[in-house]
Amino acid sequence: MTLGIKNVRAVLGPTNTGKTHLAVERMVAHESGMIGLPLRLLAREVYDKLVKIKGERLVALVTGEERIIPKNARYYACTVEAMPLSIPVSFLAIDEIQIARDPDRGHVFTDRILHARGQHETMLLGAETMRPVLNALDLHVDAEHRERFSELNYTGPIKITKLPKRTAIVAFSTEEVYSIAELLRRQRGGSAVVMGALSPRTRNAQVELYQSGEVDYLVATDAIGMGLNLDVSHIAFASRRKFDGHRSRFLRADEAAQIAGRAGRFRDDGTFGETSDCFLFEEEDIQRVENHTFDPIDFLSWRNSRLNYSSLEALSDSLHKPATHRRLKRCPDALDEITFQALRGDSEIKDLVKSQEHVRRLWDLCTLPDFRKHGPDAHVRLVQSFAEKLINPNARLQDTWINKQLERIDNIEGDIDALQARLASIRTWTYAANRPDWIQHIKVWQSRTRDIEDRLSDALHERLVEKFVDRRTSALLKSLNSEEAMDAGVGLDGEVVVEGHNVGKLDGLTFTPAVTSQTLEGRAVRNAAFKALKTVIEDKLNAISTAGDGNFSILDDYRITFQGQTIGKAVVGSHWLAPSADLIGAPDAETAIRAQAENRIRKWLLDHTKEVLKPLFDLQATLKSGRLTGLARGVAHQLVDAGAAIDRRKDEVASSLSRDDRAALKEVGVRTGRIAAYMPGLLKPAQADLCLKLRALGTDYAPMKPPSSASFKTEKGWNRANLEAAGYIRLGPRAVRADMAERLSWTLGQERKKSETSTFAIPPEHAALVGSPADDFVEILKAMGLMPAQKNKETGAIELWRFASKQRQHEKKKQAAAAPTAKQVKAMEDSPFAALAALTMPKAEDAPAKPKKKRKKKKAKPAAATEAKADTTPSNGEDASEQTQTVEQVVEAEASAAAKPDETETKNIEA
């Protein structure tokens, strides 16, 4: 043992006492210096600090996997194992010296404590527990204690989902780390992940993810306990058991303190505790952690560093040399010893060892770190593959063989596990590429392996972020907590982008988030969108309030759109012709702005109804003026309630109209024929469509779509109310538009007049008048009061028809008997049809004289018959018969006075 000299200074104390910072300050005050650190990551961190102070030309980085050694380097940042002790320096420091008790790496730290010295100053940095053993080793160390800058307090268990921001959660297995990180992604937007298995570049990227504030949580193994400077307020232990490489055991109090001490940096106090499913700390351990009082370290791990390479047996004996001091304990067989002993017994390797240089080379190969962590056997096989090629001290690995190994690793595709495995493998080759005694063209392979490791590290970082960080939720949560305005926009397709993240879609005034609001992500998306869209939505409400009518429309499902986007919905009003509307969306907008927009769509809907259904509103105005009286007034009221038409055959009031009533209705735009009373201005598809929508409003069924043909086969949903609203009359299996039904009725009368008998033929082409197939046309004729008079004996086809005059007369008598009395009319005053109170019963003298039948003689009509032509000949398909007469009777009485419909009106009907 090389005894120390009196310039050895030990700076001891808990975490957050500024020990490493002090060492850097002391080193740059000397003309040269070297510091040994426990992790490659920390060595890189100190190297960057030294570069800022002294410049790249004077600073070197030496680790197993990375060597940056300028020609004039004077300051060295190293891992403890890689310290080039043959280089004399003025100042030398060893950090985290308490690792000297570790059974695996401890012997290296012990060797540096005992033998590594600066020419003018040596500094040992570590825990206070090292003071007794340093004194016992008689190293002439001047030890000083440093107090922690901030307090560390225990807070007890907290559920993971309730942990405060800026918390690090510590677990001791990859599976547990990933499980916790996944939970935090769902509940808190995500977390960074730090594990010893990650490459330094990946760990740095994950730490930066946390330090930048993009995520508020860090899930880590005990790798954070060694020197990582993190902005952590609370440490939560998810477990207190770890596998130390030999067995699973509970953390010691000093190990827990090393981790918990990462909470609270510099002057900021920190806290620690457990998650809700972790074993609770005992009161005694809590006191030790809070007060930084731990059992002293009694023994340091040791192994003989003066090895004998004269033979394999001599090297083995020197490795097993017992410790020379009672405070030093020979470490159990470490991995390099296990590997050496396995290869020493291999006959092929044994045959290759020819000299002391071969033994030294074999031992050097056995010290290759196990980056892959596949177990001792796998590591022995890896070292054996190197030894077979490098056992000769002058041998070098062939470029083609190295390239073949790297090609298998150089792949950034795959999941987290695959990338981690490749990273572990490339770290082996990065280590080898820094050994000029192993590899030719060292610069080439250093560059190649560094490039592969960097790309794998970056890919792994991205996979970790993709899996464990919801960047959208995280960014939105931070924006919500900020007083600054959020950057938001709405695309042409309604896509809403807030702070660069797609958060959902804005359809009109309704925002649909990209995720459910039941999760934290969903709530963040919704709240951020509403905050950012408040101005956008209120601007749109103002635009709605002042927009012209051409910007609005109503859809089949009653939705009202503004410039093609849904903003409202039609609802039931005081009358089907006076619908109302409600605004859809914008629940958080200012009440006054929203009310103005809602009033605007209500006004538009009413104005739109008045414009499209103008004939009905004109009829309403006529009723209010009192121009119509009697039964005509009653029919007008029924049309206002029904829509475009009513079936005269099924309505007692409409079927009882006199000649004067029909004339009065015609003056106000209502046509009456033998079958229907209707308004021609409402028979177009647009009017029929709106009538059907408004009549179905407030019901449980959807509005029927208006037909575009003269007739159609009725199906489920087409009841009498729907047909009449659209202007159709049911005739047999088909519904026929009212004007076309009257035109067909008039045409049939003309065919009857042509016949010299009561029977007559109906040409098949008449079916085209109502757009009906032949089979349905037969049923239509029957529904219009015709009966087959003669059939073809062979084919069964109907050749002749006749009017069912007796049956029709019987029906007319029943209708006349059921006509309202004066008392019944009086009772109508209190009914919904209050206008019927003005009805007057026709006097007997006003009834038209019943023409006499002339069955045999077919002579020219007298002048009187000609005078009645205006009432008995339908114009434009209307007034096909007198109110109490059958078509057959009219034809017989006025056969010679028939006239065709007005030519202009016929063209309008066809149009």
pLDDT at residue number 480: 52
Which one is predicted more confidently, 665 or 17? 665
> 152-291: which CATH topology?
Rossmann fold (3.40.50)
Contact 580, 602 (CB under 8 A): yes
Report residue 886's pLDDT band, with 50, 70 and 90 as the boundaries. very low
Which one is predicted more confidently, 852 or 891? 852
Rounded Cα distance between 162 and 291, Å, is 27
Report residue 158's pLDDT band, with 50, 70 and 90 as the boundaries. very high
Average pLDDT estimate for 594-615? 94
pLDDT at residue number 799: 87
Measuring CA to CA, which residue among 191, 184, 185, 189 is closest to residue 160? Answer: 184
Q: What is the CATH number of domain 8-145?
A: 3.40.50.300
Task: Report the 3 state secondary structure along 852-887.
Answer: CCCCCCCCCCCHHHHHCHHHHCCCCCCCCCCCCCCH
Report residue 525's pLDDT band, with 50, 70 and 90 as the boundaries. low
Q: What average pLDDT is seen over the chain?
A: 83
Which of 262-266, 419-423, 870-874 has maximum average pLDDT? 419-423
Tell me the per-residue pLDDT of 111-150, one tens digit each, with 9 for 90 and over: 999 999 999 999 999 999 999 999 999 888 999 998 887 8
pLDDT at residue number 526: 65
Report residue 264's pLDDT band, with 50, 70 and 90 as the boundaries. confident
778: number of Cβ within 10 Å: 20
Average pLDDT estimate for 639-663? 89
Tell me the per-residue pLDDT of 177-190, one tens digit each, with 9 for 90 and over: 999 999 898 888 88
Strand 192-194 to 241-243 pairing? unpaired
Average pLDDT estimate for 642-663? 89
Checking if the pLDDT of 262 tops 70, the result is yes
pTM strictly above 0.85: no
Checking if the pLDDT of 614 tops 60, the result is yes
DSSP string, 58-99: GEEEE-SS-EE--TT--EEEEEGGG--TTS--SEEEE--GGG
Contacts of residue 901, defined as CB under 8 A and 6 or more positions apart, other chains included, come to 743, 746, 873, 874, 875, 876, 877
∠ at Cα 52 (46, 55), nearest 5°?
Answer: 105
The reply to whether domains 8-145 and 152-291 share a CATH topology is: yes
pLDDT at residue number 512: 77
pLDDT above 90: percentage of residues in the chain: 51
Partners of 270 in the β-ladder: 152
Contact 754, 900 (CB under 8 A): no
pLDDT at residue number 317: 94
549: number of Cβ within 10 Å: 11
pLDDT at residue number 476: 60
Rounded to 5 degrees, what are φ and ψ at 839? Answer: -65, 145
Domains of the chain, by residue range, sit at 8-145, 152-291, 332-466, 484-546, 549-584+593-612, 614-813+846-910
End-to-end CA distance of the chain: 118
Report residue 481's pLDDT band, with 50, 70 and 90 as the boundaries. low
pLDDT above 70: percentage of residues in the chain: 82
Which residue in the block uniquely carries the two structure tokens 């009221």?
A: 637
Checking if the pLDDT of 816 tops 70, the result is no
Measuring CA to CA, which residue among 442, 445, 457, 443 is closest to residue 406? Answer: 445
Question: Could you tell me if residue 328 is left (phi over 0), alpha (psi between -120 and 50 degrees) or otherwise beta?
Answer: beta
Contact 84, 76 (CB under 8 A): yes
Average pLDDT estimate for 480-501? 61
pLDDT at residue number 244: 76
Tell me the per-residue pLDDT of 74-92, one tens digit each, with 9 for 90 and over: 999 999 999 999 999 999 9
pLDDT at residue number 477: 60
Tell me the per-residue pLDDT of 18-58, one tens digit each, with 9 for 90 and over: 899 999 999 999 999 999 999 888 898 899 999 999 999 99
pLDDT at residue number 258: 86
pLDDT at residue number 706: 85
Q: What count of residues does the chain have?
A: 911
H/E element holding 106?
helix 106-115
Rounded Cα distance between 881 and 470, Å, is 79
pLDDT at residue number 544: 93
Rounded Cα distance between 63 and 40, Å, is 6
